Each structure stands twice: as structure tokens, then as C-alpha cells.
Structure 1
Amino acid sequence: MYLFRLALASLSNRRFTAFLTVLAIALSACLLLAVERVRTEAKASFASTISGTDLVVGARSGSVNLLLYSVFRIGNATNNIRWDSYTQLAENPKVKWAIPLSLGDSHRGYRVLGTNQAYFEHYHYGRNQALKLSEGKPFEDIYDVVLGAEVAEALHYKLGDHIVLAHGVSTISLVEHGDKPFTVVGILARTGTPVDRTLHISLEGMEALHVDWQNGAPARGEGKISAEQARQLDLTPKAITAVLLGLNSKVATFGLQRAINEYRGEPLMAILPGVALQELWSLMGTAEQALFIVSLFVVLTGLIGMLTAILTSLNERRREMAILRSVGARPWHIFSLLVAEAFALALAGVVSGLALLYVAIAIAQAPVQAYYGLYLPLEWPSRYEWTLLGGILIAALLMGCVPAWRAYRQSLADGLSVRL
């Protein structure tokens, strides 16, 4: 213990160099933990987005692309599904429930989803948790809209507010459906999934928005249909974007998937959400590992900086080592002193890095969740994170043995007379 106190006193005498070394280790440890925390939470967030859905059906494309635009609201569909194909799927005796999804519009950068009441009844997330309304009720009228928690919070909407939806999915749209405003009738409880960043309207409401559109552009003059006139029309959709299916029996999943993939009416594709999610993570695995390796090299750089600082000071401290030898210190005491200094620097860096991580999470938690939908909890480090921190300390001890061995050899040779 006295050696550790002596090491701290020595570092205090070189406080500026010690501070820079601790700062370098702290920043590298913080980066390593931040990368690991983001990776873990992103994976958990993706995995908890959808639960209890057996098949996702969309136009034939890639399984990852279908999963991204139908569940995560990322990207766009290559094509739509005809309404009669959806009705055949919904009426299949193997299907317990079907949730139609219609995408394509937005509001101030947030996606608009057209669906029906089955969405609020059967869509589950996390560990089979159902959607709940924190305020209001599900949509009933054509021009009702139910907001995700993040949309309501970020845009400061409340029940009864009127909003105008825009065509397309860009943050700034030049074409708005200003003649058909929607009224906020419900706000969903927070889920930590893309549901929070979505505005939900009925399929009829989605159809009403585009009932007077021709060739991808709104009608002008006499061809324009008002909101009240649209109510009198048949607003059954002609096409939708995707369908979520829940089956009566899990045994029938693969058989129905094969039947959908071989459907002759139009090119369709059915995927299992879990399998597609694993494929997504396998595609991202290389980038994920590369980022982790870069973080490890940053930590290594910080430890090498510590090693350099101690080695650089050795020649200046030869008189100090000689004086310690004169008062009875043995060579192994000198060795232990240098190792203790390296450990103290690494320990201070790790603790500071951990504190820096929590400060960064506390500051960035809200904006990261708002803009990226990623929730970073302020929780105690996981076992794996403790392992990483322990690895940093062990690496620091091993590196500390290099200057310690040199000091050990010098203390044997120098004695009391030091050449300056």
C-alpha cells in the first residue's frame, strides 16, 4: 500500500503530464464503451420492434429491404400489393389476423402509415407487448390521425390539433394535402420503436388524400375533390404497401410462406421477421466489427501514450531511484513502483472515461432518441463492459512492466552515483 501512495505522490509531482495521460485513456475508454453501448442498444432496439408477427408480405424484392420499409420505415417499397391479393391473404384459413400497411406520405419528416383497427389490436413489440394509447382513442373518422409518442412530443401536438400531411417522405415537401387536414384524436404510449415516429391514419384516409391525384400529381381546377366530397366516394384502396400476418398455427408458417412466394396473381414475397433481422445483422456485422476494432486501437493508442510518458521520464528520475535505493528500497520495490504508477494512471483513466460516458449519455439521450430512435439507458455497466474495462487495466499493467523493468535494471547499475 505504501508503494501505491508513493506512486500517487510521484504522479502528483508530475501532475500535468499525468493529467494528459489520464485524459487520453479516459477518452479512449469512453469511446470504446460508447461504441459497445450503441451497438448493444441498437441490436436490442431492432429486435424489439416487432413481436408476434409470423410473416411480413410485400412486393417481391430483397428480404432485408422488405423488413426495413415495412417495419422500420426505412427506405421505400419497390412496388405495391393489389387490394384483392390482400383480401385473399386475409381470408386464408391459416391466417388468424392481417394488418395492411400503406406508406408513401409524411409530415415534417415523420412517416405516415395508413392501416386499419387490426393494427391497434394485433401489432406487438418487445416481449409481446401490445400498443397502448396514452391519450385519446384510435382513429374512427376518415380524417382522424393517431400520433406516435415521439411525434407528439417533438412537434408539441395535443388532442384536437389539426395537421396537414405532405406527399412523399422527405423532410421538406413541396406538395402538401392542404385541402384535407387531419385531426389528432389519439397519442400512443412510448414504445421505443419506429411506432413512436409514425403518424397513423385509416386506409380510407390515405385513399382520400390521393383520390383526385393523376399520374403522381394533384388535380387542378374542376378535377379537384374536396374533403367533404371525398367522403361520398368509395375509398376502398386499390393497392397497399405490405401486410403483417399472424397465423393460427406456427406449423403452417413455412407452408404459407412458400405458397405466397409462388402466388401467380402477382409477384409477392413473404419473409419471417426473425430470419430477415438476422440477415440484416449479418450484413452489418463487418461494419460493426470494424468500428469495434477502431475503438480498440484508440484505447491502445491511449495506453501507448501512457507508456511513452513513463519511459520518457525514466532518465530524469534516475537520481530519484538512486535515492530510494539508498534508503533501503530493493530493485523489486522500484519495479513495483513503476507498475503501480501505470495502474494508477489507467485506473484514473477508466473511472474518468466511465464518468464521461454517463455525462455524454445524459446530454445526448433525448436528441439521439428523437433523431435516430435509439434509446441509450443510464444503467450500470454490463458484465461485458466490465470485462472491457478490466482488459484495459490488465493491458496497462503489462505495458507498465516495460518501464518498470528498465527502472529495475538501472537501479541495479546506478547505485548512488548517477551520470547527468
Structure 2
Amino acid sequence: MTGFLLGLAWRSAWNRRFTLVLTVCSIALSTFMLIGVERIRTDLRDSFTSAVSGTDLIVGARTGSIQLLLYAVFHIGAATNDIRWSSVQALGQQRGVAWVVPLSLGDSHRGFPVLGTSAGYFEHLRYGDQQSLRLEQGSVFADLFDAVIGAEVADRLGYRLGQRITLAHGSGDLHLSDHADKPFRITGILARTGTPVDRTVHISLEAMQALHVDWFAGAPIPGGHIDPDRVRSMNLQPKAVTAALVGLKNRAAVFSVQRQVNQFAAEPLMSILPGVALDELWDVIGTGEQALLLMSALVAAVSMAALVSVVLAGLNERRRELAVLRAVGASPHHVLLLLALEGSMVTISGITVGIVAMVGALVAAGPWLQSAYGLTLHAAQPTNLQWALLAGLLLAGSLAGLLPGWRAYRLALADGLAPRI
């Protein structure tokens, strides 16, 4: 009997296909938004986490943990203070420390941050699933004024190996002055990572120092210009850096090393665990996530209301159809089941279309999102929350057919067969 009702529900829905197609599209849109928002939320968090893979501690001047994470890893904002180079050297000699990668920020190039660092940055930094940085083209720092750029910098600005660029003093769009007297040559282009590395211009610590040998207090010294050839013969050991990434010999010693850094006597330092700082960051932006999810749920509720409205609106046109079914022996239970099956079929169709559309959008727009925003989206296995959202949509669609079914049950047989005048 259920198979017969299923076929009957399909034929009945097909007769009203133009109206139901709109409802299917509405449910597909709600599915697209619900699953899409959850996928973006999940992959965005993975992108944040992947940027600091393999780093045990981040060390900087005392400030908020989120602020330290943002400017050291994501190059957003500015440090409250630098840390002395002698402190970085002492940090590398701490028991349990395997490597230290210094980071020096403050300059930029056409809106992209410039990062002064050591060769260990390319050796020790990991992203994603413990993946190493890889050069797509060229090599790392063969000369003092060499630069290695991220994939997004190369794509957006159309740069190639051997091209000369000029860096600017100041971060972001705040260019206080250009270092036009000391141009850099692009010697390397990194493979895309989907992390802030893609949006960064990398130079050596010595090069960062060379840019500012004739500067004082953030401004060039009047009449104190030093040409690049003379700079090469100078002592370019940095006096201070912005932050440092730390890797340990044994991760079990992370809290011990963190305590040593936080109690450092030479100057006030702080160290943070990247994972803990990321959790704090997500606590801050969690409200925005919930707002997006709530908006998608409202779209889904509107779609379910549209489904109920369409079935109810067509109920008067189907009164004779339902009355005939009652007359040939269909029980109220069968009528209720018929309309519930119809609602389920429409909902399943909408969910299927929505999932296919979302996967297609991820495949089509994925490369663009990665190049434009550094966001890597995956058409992966649905998460537990996504399965729950899909189940909720299906349940809501099935229940949406119960109200029209209850209404049909209340229709009298004589009223359905009686001709209208």
C-alpha cells in the first residue's frame, strides 16, 4: 500500500510541478545556505589553525594573547613593543627549545606585509597537516636585497622572478615613506598554502636592518643617506624583533618552557600556545558565526512555511481528488500518509538540489576564494552538525505535510463530492 501511495504522491506532485518547483528551489536555497555556512565556518577555522601548524609557542612583548597571535601569525595589527635580540638568543638557549624563528614586521609593499626573518622560517614553519613551505620558483635569500614572495602577492601584482620592487615604511596602506633607495629583487615565489604566508613579502633580518640603518624614530635621518653598496659592509645584526616562533624538542615540556619565558628576567616577555589563543579568538567571533547560522535557519523556516502554504493552497483544488480516494476505500490514515509522503518527496528533492549546488559552487568558486581571500574550502564528508541540519530539514519537510493532511482529514466526503454552484 505504501508503494502505491508513493506512486500516487509522485503523480499528484507532477501534475502541480510548476508550483512545487518553486518550493523545491526554496528548500534548495535553504539547504545551500545552511550547509554552506557550516562548511565555511568549519574550513575557516581549519585555515586559521593550519597557519600555525608545528609551532609550539609564540613569544612576544607582553600584551593580549589574541593580539600577539594576530600580529605574529596573521600580520594584523601592531605590537605594543619589540623584544631585544639578546632575548631571542637567550630564548634559543633555553633547555628544551629546538629552534627559534625571529619575526620582524612593520614595513609593507602595496598593502602586503613585509616580514623579516631567518632562513629557519622556511625550514621549520609548517601549515596544514605538518606540510613544509615549498618554493614554486627560485631560491631563498642569495643576496642581502633578495625577496621571497607568497603566491597571492605574485598573482595579484603579476610579479615574476628577477623583478625589482620597492618596500615602504609602515604597515597596510599607511606608507609613511618608501625605501626607494634600496630596491629588492624577487628571487623566490612560494607555492600556495592558503595561509597568511601567501600574502607576505619575505626578506632577511639583515635586509630589514639595512632598510633602516639611516632612519631614526621612524623617519629618515636628514642628510644621513647610506647607499646599498656601503650598507653591505656594515654590521646588520638586528637590535630587536617583533616576535618569535618557538619549536620544542619535546612537546610535553611546553608548559615548563612557557613558564620560563613568562618569568624572563631581562625584559617582560609572554609566550602563548597557538591552539589556546585560537580558541580565545573563536570565542570572540563566535557571535558572528551563530548569527550566520541563525540567518540560514530562518531561511529554512521560510522554506518550510512556503511548502505548507503551497500544499494548503492547492488543497481546495484537490478536495475532489481526496474525496474520491476516500470513496474508494482510502482511510484518513492513508490520506494523511499521502500528503506527508508528498511533503517528504518535495523536501528530499530540494535538499538534493541544494547539496549538488553547494558542491558545484565549492568546485567552481574554490580556486577564486583561495586566491582572493586565502580561504580554502573542501567538498568533504559532511560534519556531524551538517548531518543534523540535513536531518532537521528532512524532518521539518515531512512534518510540513501533516497540517494539510489533518485539514484534508477534516473535509467531509459529501462536501468533496458535492458539485459547487
TM-score w.r.t. length of structure 1 = 0.92
> How far, CA to CA, are the matches of 1:18 and 1:370 in structure 2?
39
1:277 corresponds in structure 2 to 278
Unaligned runs of 5+ in 1: none
> How far, CA to CA, are the matches of 1:418 and 1:347 in structure 2?
36
Q: How does 1:166-177 map to 2 (within 5 A)?
A: 166-171=168-173, 173=175, 175-177=177-179
Unaligned runs of 5+ in 2: none
Q: How does 1:73-88 map to 2 (within 5 A)?
A: 73-88=75-90
Q: Does 1:288 align with 2:289?
A: yes
Deviations 1:147-185 (A, max 9, x none): 222222333322212122222222474632222111111
CA shift at 1:135, angstroms? 1.9
Change beyond 3 A, Cα 1:123–1:205:
same
8 Å contact 1:338–1:403 — kept in the other structure?
yes
Q: How does 1:172-211 map to 2 (within 5 A)?
A: 173=175, 175-211=177-213
Moved over 6 A (4+): none
8 Å contact 2:113–2:172 — kept in the other structure?
no
8 Å contact 1:108–1:172 — kept in the other structure?
no
CA shift at 1:227, angstroms? 2.1
> How far, CA to CA, are the matches of 1:121 and 1:174 in structure 2?
33
What amino acid does structure 1 have at the position aligned with 2:67?
Answer: N
Q: Percent of aligned positions with the same letter in both sequences?
A: 52
1:57 corresponds in structure 2 to 59
2:409 corresponds in structure 1 to 408
Length, aligned pairs only: 419
Q: Does 1:120 align with 2:95?
A: no
1:313 corresponds in structure 2 to 314
1:365 corresponds in structure 2 to 366
Change beyond 3 A, Cα 1:125–1:114:
same
2:26 corresponds in structure 1 to 24
8 Å contact 1:49–1:194 — kept in the other structure?
yes
2:238 corresponds in structure 1 to 237
CA shift at 1:206, angstroms? 1.0
Secondary structure of the equivalent of 1:135?
Answer: strand
1:218 corresponds in structure 2 to 220
TM-score w.r.t. length of structure 2 = 0.92
Higher mean C-alpha displacement, 91-100 vs 236-245: 91-100
8 Å contact 1:325–1:411 — kept in the other structure?
no
> How far, CA to CA, are the matches of 1:18 and 1:134 in structure 2?
51
> How far, CA to CA, are the matches of 1:255 and 1:71 in structure 2?
23
Deviations 1:106-164 (A, max 9, x none): 22222211001111222222232222222222113111111222222333322212122
8 Å contact 2:148–2:190 — kept in the other structure?
yes
8 Å contact 1:321–1:411 — kept in the other structure?
no
The alignment's C-alpha RMSD in Å is: 2.2
2:349 corresponds in structure 1 to 348
2:259 corresponds in structure 1 to 258
What amino acid does structure 1 have at the position aligned with 2:277?
Answer: A
> How far, CA to CA, are the matches of 1:310 and 1:171 in structure 2?
56
Higher mean C-alpha displacement, 119-128 vs 362-371: 362-371
